[in-house]
Each structure stands twice: as structure tokens, then as C-alpha cells.
Amino acid sequence: MSAISIGQAAVLGVIEGVTEFLPVSSTGHLKIAEGLMGVQVDDTSVVGFTAVIQVGAIAAVLLYFFKDIVRIVSAWGRGLVDREERHRHDYRFAWWIIYATIPIVVVGLAAKKLVEGPLGSLWVVAGSLIVGSGVMWCADQMGRHKRGEDDTSLKDAMLVGGSQILALLFPGFSRSGATMSTALILDLDRVAATRLSFFLGIPALTGAGLYELKDAVGAGVGVGPLAVGTAVSFAVAYASIAWLLKYVARHSFNAFVVYRIVVGAALLGLLATGVLSA
């Protein structure tokens, strides 16, 4: 019997699609939803399922930014054989994404058991949601929002990419929240910060999903729930990306800060009263 039903997979796919790129923590929301559904959060197959349906959200990013990705990859390819092309921002940006992905890969492999064990507790999720809210609010207030995407550097990419480790080690902190906050502190404007977060998430999340695929299928999640969860995640994530880019062009991150605090406080209440088990 599958550890996750098709109906549960569809619900989790919606949650993943909505929350993966919003700075509210997809992992935290998925863990909360799984707990309320009675799904065993620390089950290896459930952890694998969560990682695999992220690939649906990543596919949405690939489609939404297809032209940008083709431009960047093409510039990288040309730069490998043409010295003149190496002076172009797109060529350098491609290398920066590669370099910035290395820290999260190394830490992810080294800390896998720790993340799936003690750090996977819902108490950690609740605390990370609230603490991450404070970080995001401070970053939005501190940042001068004066630098665009073309002004990014290797330093920016490494610092923003490295901040993904916070979300890896502390589920609930939010990968997009950590990367966007770091970018804002570096004075990138909100749209540039959001787009950089998207691009840096592509290799890290895709790699995590593919790595976990064997555990998700082999340890108790059927192909049906995986397919449904991934497909739903893709459709909802595409809509979320389009909405978020329009939203951050005109608004601050304050709404996300308040939302995260409310969810974190509610989760603490559910855990304290025994409604949810950590």
C-alpha cells in the first residue's frame, strides 16, 4: 500500500506549488499538512516524495524562464570556445550559478541524516518560520533596492546561493526566504532578488528531487501519487511564479512576514496542545 494516496498527493502538490517560490517555506507547509493528514513525516518514502514533487515546481520555473535560460546557457556554451564571449554577463552568470550551487550540494549530502532526523521536527519548523520572518523583515528594511539583475556579481551569487543552507538545515526558514533576504541585504531590488532566487533554485532543487527519486518509489510511494503530486505542483507553481513577480514589483515582503509569524505561532499551539506530533 502506498504511503501517500492520490488524493493526499494532489493536496500536497497544491501546497508545494503555492509555497515553493513564495518566501513562506514549502517544506514547513508540507510537513504541517502531512502531520494533519496523519502521514508519517519522517518516513523515508514521504521525505522522498516531498523532494520529487519539487521537480514539478522546478519544471514550472524552466518553462516560465525558458527564454532567459536558453540565453544564459547559449552564452555559456559560446564562452567555452570564444574568449570574447567570456566578457558577457550571461556567460559569467552561468558560472556563478554553478559555483553557488556547490555549497548546498556538499552540505546537503553531509547533513542528510541530520536534516531528516532531529532537524526535521515540527518544533524546528515553527521556530524557523518565526525567526526567518524577523530576518526577512530586517532585510527588506535594510536593503536599498538600488541594484538590478545586470548589477549582480560572483560575490552576490555565492552569498545568496550559500544562504540556501539555512533552509536546508532549518526546515521552515524557507529557501526562497533566505535567498531573497540575502539578496535584499546586498541591495538588490525586489524583482532582481526574486529572479536570482529562482535561478539559483533550479540546480539545487532538481538535484535533490532526482537524488530522492529512488527512495520515494522504492520505499512505499507509488508511481500514481508521485505523478499526480508532481503534475499538480507544476501547474500551481507556474501560476505562483507569475503572481509573485508582479507582486514584488509593487509591494514589500511585509505580508509574507506577518503570514509566517501567524503560521509559526499556530503550529506552536498545535504542538503544545498535542493536536500535532513533532
pLDDT digits over 141-200, tens only?
A: 998 889 998 899 999 999 999 999 998 889 889 899 999 999 999 999 999 999 999 999
Q: How far apart are CA 237 and CA 62, in angstroms?
A: 11
Residue 86, number of CB atoms within 10 A of its CB: 15
Average pLDDT over residues 224-250: 94
Mean pLDDT value across the chain: 88
Residue 21, number of CB atoms within 10 A of its CB: 28
Q: How far apart are CA 222 and CA 54, in angstroms?
A: 16
SS (H, E, C) 69-82: HHHHHHHHHHHHHC
SS (H, E, C) 104-130: HHHHHHHCHHHHHCHHHCHHHHHHHHH
Query: Model pTM greater than 0.75?
Result: yes
Residue 242 has pLDDT above 60, yes or no: yes
Question: What is the predicted pLDDT for the residue at 274?
Answer: 87
Query: What three-state secondary structure class fits 148?
Result: coil
Q: How far apart are CA 17 and CA 236, in angstroms?
A: 5
User: Regarding predicted confidence, which is higher, 249 or 2?
Assistant: 249
Question: What is the predicted pLDDT for the residue at 276?
Answer: 81
Comparing 32-46, 93-107, 131-145, 175-189, the range with the smallest average pLDDT is 32-46
Q: How far apart are CA 222 and CA 4, in angstroms?
A: 8
Comparing 20-29, 45-54, 189-198, the range with the smallest average pLDDT is 45-54
What DSSP string runs through 180-203?
HHHHHHTTB-HHHHHHHHHHHHHH
Comparing 60-74, 76-90, 217-231, the range with the smallest average pLDDT is 217-231
Residue 277: enclosing H or E segment and its boundaries?
none
Residue 123 has pLDDT above 60, yes or no: yes
Q: How far apart are CA 91 and CA 106, in angstroms?
A: 24
Q: How far apart are CA 74 and CA 138, in angstroms?
A: 37
Query: What three-state secondary structure class fits 278?
Result: coil
Q: How far apart are CA 12 and CA 7, in angstroms?
A: 9
pLDDT interval class at 53 (50, 70, 90): confident
Average pLDDT over residues 46-59: 83
Cα-based distances in Å from 141 to 135, 172, 261: 10, 21, 17
Angle at which helices 190-218 and 154-162 pack, to 10 degrees?
50
Grid cell, residue 130, equals 518565526
